[in-house]
Structure formats: C-alpha cells, structure tokens
Structure 1
Amino acid sequence: MLSALRAKASTNNTAVLAGSDLDQEYLTNITVGGQTFPVIVDTGSSDTWLIKKGFKCFNLTGTPETEETCAFGSAGFDTAASKTFKSFPKVSFNISYGDGEFLSGGVGFDTVSAGGVTVTQQEIGTPDLAAWNGDGVNSGLLGLAYSGLTSVFNTTDPTKASNANHIPYDPFFFTAVKQGVVTNPFFSIALDRPASLTVNVTVDPNLGYVAFGGMPPVALDKTAVTVPIQGYSATTGDPSTTNAVYFYYTLDVAGYVFSGSTSVETANNNTILDTGTTLNYFPTKVAKAYNAGFVPKAKYNEDEGLYYVDCDATPPAFSVNLGGKLFPIDARDQILDAGTDDAGKVLCISGTQDGGADTAENVFILGDVFLHNIVPTFNIKTNELTITRRAKY
C-alpha cells in the first residue's frame, strides 16, 4: 500500500507547517477572500473558521474581556473586504473544544486556498464571539475531519444549536476532492518534534508538512499498515461498522506495548488521530501503568489531572500496535515542557496522560506525541488510514 501511495503521489500540493505556543500547535497559512492568516491544522475537527473583525472576547467562564485576552494573531477576517464572500443567512456557527474554548457567530462562503489548493464557495465559520486561549499567532483553524463534526446549525441563536438542527457540510479537503483540484482523495501529515524542550520564539518555522493529494517530503521506514477508519452508529454514537457514519479519524488499537503492559487491558476501539491535541490520552489503567515506569516515577496531580515528571527522567519504551505492526514512540516525545513554577523552575509533564475510563462513550487520543513518529495518510474515499513509521530523525 505504501509503494502504491508513493506512486500515486507523484504530484501533490504541500503546505509547510510552523510551530507555536511552545510548539504545541501546528500552523499553516490559508488565504480566504484574498486575506492570509496562520491557522491551526486540526484532524480532530472539521470546520474551517476565521475570527471575524470586530469580535467580542470572553474568558472560559463567559465573562467579557478585551480582544487582546483572546490573543488572536490579527484583528480578524474582514468579510466586507472580500470580493468573493457571501453570507449564509438564518444559520449560525457554534463550536466548543475539549479545553473549554468556544466560538459562535455567522457563516459564509468564500474562496479558500491552502498548500497550493484553491477551492471556491467553501463554507466557513466567521465567529464574532470567542473564548480563546490564543498564541498571538493564529486567527482560526483548518479542520480536516468528516462532515459529521461540522458546526453549522439551522438557527440564528447559537445557544439553541443541537443535533436536530445540525446542517452538515463538506470540509475543505472534501470540497477539494469534489471540485477535482487535488490529484488523489487522500492527504498526509508529517509533524516534526521540536528541537528542544524550551522554545524561546513565538513561531518555530519548518516544523512539518501537510500534503494534499500526496506524501510529505520526509524520510520513511518500511513499516506501514493500512487499517479501516472506524465509523459510529447513527443511533447510539458508539463505534460501529454497520450503517456507520464518520466523524473522527478513529482507528482500532490492538494494544499498547510497554513494560508491564501484559497485565493491563490496553486495547480499545475508540481512539482518534488528532493533530490538534499535543498529548496522548489513554484509558486510566494504561496511563497509570505506563507513568509508573518512568525513572523516577511520574507524579499525578489530582487538581490538574496531569502526570508530572522530572525533566531529566528516563521514560519507559512504548509502542502502539496497529493492525499487528508496532509503532514506537521516541523517548524524546514523552517529556514535555509545562512552563515554570513560582520559583522559576522548569516543569515537565508526561506525553501520555489519563483519558478516563475505558468505556464506549470516551474518545481516546493519539496526539502529536505519537504523530511525531509516523506519517498518517487519510483516504476519504476508501475510509482508510495508512500509518507509516518515520525514519529516525
């Protein structure tokens, strides 16, 4: 399958990624209506949105704040200055993220370009209310998951958004495939790990690629596997292969391999590949058993729900079993900078954290910690994921 992908991907459109927020976010530039903005590249959501010029900022509890508090990288998208923007009346955009951030506002259609790919009449969110912990660089997001996760609703009141009035639409890459502006119906991503734990720059350039219709220009190992993307039951919302609908890029994990893992139930079938999440979030028993293997041991902070580790600790070896193939996580990815304490001491956290009980309703995450070590190829036509191990770098 890997050789077939390489053969098909002789021509592709590739966007260079940059790191921000201590390289915990991966950004690329997109142009909408002639205006260019850095945005977060996210396979864990589906909407393309840009904060609208004149927006109102709130904190995560809903208290009004100044625009500067939301820390967007610009004054926002000026819909009036775009010659190609068309408003979508009588609907609203409304989205919330796992960390408590939320946005709401209007919806429209415009010409969107990313990585040399240009689509017309792309539906986008133009929120004018935001609770956002920005990095001072990005002004929005490029969502690459399925239409089931889009966030447009048939109501002008975002507080009344619900499954009953959800209006799914084609995300950017799906539009590109339908409009025939990419060669192949798949995209691939390579996320480079930061060069060091502490990054003293606002933007870290050249930190990876997203290739639309092709493969990124990075060295690969021969180890690869192709697995089906897991759908969900339209009635129960649980992972399913019967009359399934697609939301995330969910894949079956055969197991996590580390010292002591044979005594812990590690397999689950509700795990997503998410470029928009830095850490891995695994079932409680897996996270607890793995973090106990650090030397010295990781310490769990109940108030924050995080495993902290010494910055010079030795992480245990760790691999993810996908389709019978093992994909190791480099030890360098298992210790992350978490800022400093009141005395100025650098703090570090484990790259593998507690994602909750191993139940059907919980979604677990293979985040950037894992993605630094692979190139995933997302095929939206066959609903398959090809996972290829990266060569050591």
Structure 2
Amino acid sequence: MAIPIKAPAFPESVADGSIATWYKKPGDAVKRDELLVDIETDKVVMEVLAEADGVLGEIHKHEGDTVLSGEHLGSLNEGASAAPPPAATASAASAAQTGSGAGQAEALLSPAARKLVLEHGLSAETLQGSGKDGRITKEDVLAAIQSGAKSPPAAPEKAPAAAADAPLFAQGERVEKRVPMTRLRAKVAERLVEAQSSMAMLTTFNEVNMQPIMALRSKYKDLFEKKHDGVRLGFMSFFVKAAVEALKRQPGVNASIDGNDIVYHGYQDIGVAVSSDRGLVVPVLRNAEQMSLAEIEGGIANFGKKARDGKLSIEEMQGGTFTISNGGVFGSLLSTPIVNPPQTAILGMHKIQERPMAVNGQVVILPMMYLALSYDHRLIDGKEAVTFLVTIKDLLEDPARLLLDI
C-alpha cells in the first residue's frame, strides 16, 4: 500500500518552503517515525517523518524545489522490504579494501551532503553528523567547509616534501564561489531593509559599569548552578530583568505601531537574538516579567541549543514586544542594532572592556560596557529613550534595586 508523503501544514505566516535534504533514496528501507526529509522555510526547518515501516517509493519534489503546505512530496510503500543492492558483493569487496570505516561514513551521507563532499574533495570520515543516527547532513558539510576541513590526502609513493604545504589554490588565482541564499537569510535581509525604510530609526548610547554585576556573579555563580540543577548564571538574565523593569516605567518602548494605532502591551515578551549557522533568529521569552533569573538563563540556554540544532519552532520566534541583542559575545565594542518590526526598540549589548574612568576625582580602571538603544522616533521621543537607557544603567550598576523594586 502506497502512503503519500506530504509537506506539513505551514502556519499562516509561512507561504511556502523548499526541500533542504532527503535522508532516504527511492528503494531505501524506512522505519516508522524515521526522518525522511527537511523542509526549509523562511523561519524554521520542518521535519517530515515516516508514517509507517516500509520502503521509500518515488520522490516528486527534489532538493531545492519549492513546496506548498500539504503538497505531495513522494510516496512510501508500507510493509515492503528493501531489495538488496545488485552490486552488494562488489561493494563489500571495495569496502574491505578501503576500510569499513569509510564505507560506513559514506552510507551516512545524505544526497545533498554527498554532492558537496565530492565537489570540495572532503572525506566523509572527517565529518561529524548531526542528523538522526549520526547522519551527515548538508549543513554539516557546509560547516566543515567553512572551518577549513579537507580530506586527508592519499600518501603518494614518492612525493616532494613541499607538496604537503602546497596552497589550496594556485598563487594569484582568482576564485569565486556562488551559493544560494537560504530562505532564513533572505527573510532576515528583507526584514532589515524593511525596518530601515519604514521607520524613523535613531540610536542613543550610554555606558554601564559592570563591576557590581560581575562581583555578584562571581560570588554566587557556583551556588546558583548547584541550586538550579546546572543552570549557569550569566549576564543576560540581569539585562532581561533590568529591561523588564525599564519597560514598565516607559510603556511606549514596549509598544508597537499598527497602521495609525499605537498598541500598548501590558506584558513583557523579550526577544533574545541568537546566532546560528542558518542566520540570526530571535526566540522569545514569554511573560519575562514573571520569570526568575534561573528561568531566564535556562530559557536562553535552551534557545541556543535549539538554534544550533535547527529545532526552534515558529511559535517560539513569533511575537515579542522588545529585543535584546548581545554583539559583545563576538567582540563588538559598539554598534547600532536594527529594530525588529513591529517592535519599536532594541537594546544592544557589547563587549566588556576595562577603561580608565573618573570616580570621585580619581582615575579608576573599571569593566565598562557600551549600551545602544535603537528606537522608532515616530513613537518614542528622545527623552523617553534616554530615560529608558539610564534606568537600565542605574539598575545594573546597583543590582539590589532589582530585588527591592526601587
């Protein structure tokens, strides 16, 4: 019995997707709930699983093809068993000559991954698979290419000593590589251009002395981690808490514009920008005003893991009333972040840098961080924006005020 393999139902905000990777070839045996194909949308990667045991039949949509919600991708022959490959004996002999490890690694390559491996001269043995059962996906190969991984060269009988140091390209050679933009990257680019063309965007800056937060974290981080089952105390939870309090005092920064209306939100859903191999994503901490420091840190850590594994759901990235972006983890000293519409403001954190500061007439070396608040000037006035940023600065430089609600 042939079971149709269909694309999942896309949310209203997702028009279509494209086939990223088929993990099986026609004729391959398939187990129930085994991953068959990844569909990449402009927000998330959606997985299609096998509905029953059987054999993969015909594939109608191939890698790179555009698919719509519920569209027919292929078929699964329920209850059938895979026929042994005709060249099984020859393959076994070849595997014995080249080594069983290489044969196993090749078998774990998805079609798209195998194509990239051949194009770039990589060895499957050097790749780490992140897919189900250790399968090597297209993204794994791209990550290896970016990190400079190359196939181990076969040892020639007699080779000059300088051959091992030969450059990848001949000196003076002008090489270009054209790679299609992922849907997520294209969507991010579209939204950033839209934000800059539709908003009266302005950025204001301030700086915060991080010494009180660093001292508090250093004193209690081990006890905090032990108390909260391995959740580590970082800086982001303090910034989220400070932002929540500042948003309560300046509700306009927590608002959004809908046509000619201003929508004021009586809750604080904080988006936290997370970088992944596929691009920038912004999962949202719902009702952050009700969360403890441990819940915030745990939520952010979970988002980071899901972003790396491509497991973030659309629901986790929708909404949000305010965003925090931490470019400091990459070494950024100062930047002007772009507002994520329909929100009207975004807070940019940066690298903690020791600088000489004047304190009570004395020069003191302090760990300082620049803060940037980009905002939509159509809704937020300069006074409101500066007051918001100064509130965050005051709360971070005296974290006891967060506990005392003053």
Shared fold by TM > 0.5?
no
For the pair shown, which has the larger CA radius of gyration, 1 or 2?
A: 2
TM bucket normalised to smaller? under 0.3
- Structure number having the greater helix percentage: 2
Larger RCO, structure (CA 8 Å, separation 6 or more): 1
- Structure number having the greater strand percentage: 1
